Amino acid sequence: MVGVCMVTQIEWSDDLLINVDAIDADHKKLFNLMADIFASASHGADAINRAIGALASYTKEHFSREEESMAGAQYPALEAHKYEHEHLVFQLEGLINRLMVSGAEAIDSELAKFLMNWLGGHIMTFDVKYAAYLRETGQHG
């Protein structure tokens, strides 16, 4: 197991921009919250739990805002996207449970890889399609 001293950084990349300002701003905030988990690793269980809670809370807020935007834009793939959001929340809850049990020992490069794939994969697979829909229909989100 990789020790806390070898904490991996999670950083935003402009490669993840979908060019919908409100959604991009939320995505950047989510990356900052993921990075906060790693920053909290050396500050004990309470700090880790606060960082995880902030990520979980903001994730749900973001998904809700995104789904409202999609409904307003009459996005035809809204239901599939909502299902994907539910799956992501399920994965996040599993991660939270693992971190609650393992604590700082679980904050390692494997966690960083999981989080990057968890959010980055969603953005590049699902959110880019919504952004394309907005452009094709002359909407701006």
pLDDT digits (tens, 9 = 90+) for 67-109: 999 999 999 999 999 999 999 999 999 888 888 888 778 888 8
Complete domains list, the chain, with CATH: 18-136 (1.20.120.50)
Q: Closest Cα partner for 126 from 27, 36, 29?
A: 27
What are the structure tokens assigned to 51, written together? 């960082």
C-alpha to C-alpha distance for 38 and 122, rounded to whole angstroms: 21
Taking CA 10 as the corner, what is the angle to CA 131 and CA 124, rounded to the nearest 5 degrees?
20
pLDDT digits (tens, 9 = 90+) for 110-127: 888 888 889 999 999 999
Backbone conformation region of residue 2, classed left if phi is above 0, alpha if psi is from -120 to 50, else beta = beta
